[in-house]
Each structure stands twice: as C-alpha cells, then as structure tokens.
C-alpha cells in the first residue's frame, strides 16, 4: 500500500454502486480516504458535510445529476474551492465543454485508463487551488 497522503479525502458520487466500491478499493489502496454517494443530492450533502479534497462526479444520477451537483458545489461558500472531476459514460463534446465552463478540473469517459485517471487525481490534488485541469 502506498504511503498515506495526509489522508486526502475523495468523494466519489456515482449511481453505479459497484463502480463506487471499485473506486473506493483503488483509491484507498493509493492512500486516499474515500466517501461515497449514489445520487446528486447526496453528493452535495456529503460534499458540505465532509469537505473532501476532491470530488469525482458521475453526470447521470438520480436526484439531480452531476451538473446540478457541481453547480451547487461551486456556488456554496463551503465547497466552492473543491476540485471536481467528472467520470461519465457519455462522450459528448458539448457535455465536456459544459463541464469545463462549470469549473470541472477533469473529464473522464468510462471505461477509463486507471493510470491516467490516478495521475490526474494526483496532479489536481497537488495544486494548492485545486485548479489542475486535464
């Protein structure tokens, strides 16, 4: 197991519970703390309560999708500086651009390359303002 990195906390929000579990295993193995959420409302609630260092958001989720969530996250005093990375099975240029405009730091399409994904997480977390972009 890799050294703990000051237990940086990552919120993973995806309605595919299996994927949340898999990401939890992978991220924990890389030394991160992980909290999960399975819909848009829960994602925003968890973001406010746990103040994670990074949020990984799915786009299509029940109770407000990823775009609703990032909108709230980026307009909330408590969460607006938390970097957000989208992880979605959609591959749409417009969606990618919208995510960028809403302040996302990365956009990954499922299925994704583990090494590249982990690399971006690391580089985003390394930036003091969390503005690292893919």
Partner 1 sequence: MRVISVKSYRVAYIGSDGDFAIALENALNAVGFPFMRETADTHGLQAAFDFKPDIVLWDRDGTQLEEKLPITALRQAGFTKQPVVAVARREDVDGAVNSLAGGAIDFIFKPLNENPVPRLLASLNAGQKQLLLDWYHRVIEDTNDQIRGILTTLVDPAYIVSPEFQILWTNRAAEEIFGEGQRGGACHHVFYDRTEPCEVCVKSKGSARWRAMLKNGKSYRFISAFVRNGRGEVERLVVGTDITPDEEVQKIHKTFIANVSHDLRTPLAAIDQYVNILLEGLAGDLTEDQRGYVDVIRRSSFRLNSLVENLIDANKILSGDFKLRMEVVTIKDIIDVVAGKLESQAADKQLMFQVQIADDLPHVYADKDRVAQVIANIAGNSIKFTEQGMIQIRAGFMPRDEGRVIVSVEDTGIGIPTEDLGKIFELFYRVEKDKVYVEEGAGLGLSISREIVRAHGGTLWAESMEGMGSAFHFALPAHSASTTAAGQGTQHRR
Please give the backbone phi and psi of residue 56, each rounded to the nearest 5 degrees, phi first: -105, 120
The size of the interface with partner 1 (CB under 8 A), counted in residues, is: 20
Residue 88: strand, helix, or coil: strand
Please state the separation of Cα 3 from the chain's center in Å: 21
β-partners of residue 106 are 85
Q: Quick one: which segment of 3-11, 15-23, 38-46, 62-70 binds partner 1 (CB under 8 A)?
A: 15-23
3 sits near partner 1 (criterion: CB under 8 A): no
23 sits near partner 1 (criterion: CB under 8 A): yes
Q: Which two tokens stand for residue 11?
A: 């919120």
Nearer to partner 1, 12 or 73 (CB): 12
Which residues make Cβ contacts (< 8 Å) with residue 98, sequence separation at least 6?
67
Please give the residues from 69 up to 108 whose contact with partner 1 meets the rule CB under 8 A: 88-93
25 sits near partner 1 (criterion: CB under 8 A): yes
Q: Provide the binding-site residues for partner 1, judged by CB under 8 A.
A: 16, 18-19, 22-23, 25-26, 29, 60, 88-93, 109-112, 114
């Amino acid at each position: 197991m890799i050294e703990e990195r000051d237990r940086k906390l990552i919120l993973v929000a995806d309605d595919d519970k299996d994927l949340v579990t898999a990401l939890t295993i992978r991220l924990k193995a890389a030394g991160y703390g992980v909290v999960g959420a399975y819909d848009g409302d829960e994602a925003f609630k968890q973001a406010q309560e746990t103040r994670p260092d990074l949020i990984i958001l799915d786009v299509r989720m029940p109770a407000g999708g990823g775009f609703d969530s990032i909108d709230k996250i980026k307009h909330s005093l408590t969460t607006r500086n938390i970097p957000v990375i989208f992880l979605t099975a959609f591959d749409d240029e417009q969606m990618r651009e919208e995510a960028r405009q809403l302040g996302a730091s990365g956009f990954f399409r499922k299925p994704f390359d583990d090494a590249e994904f982990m690399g971006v997480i690391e580089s985003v977390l390394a930036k003091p303002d969390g503005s690292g972009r893919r």
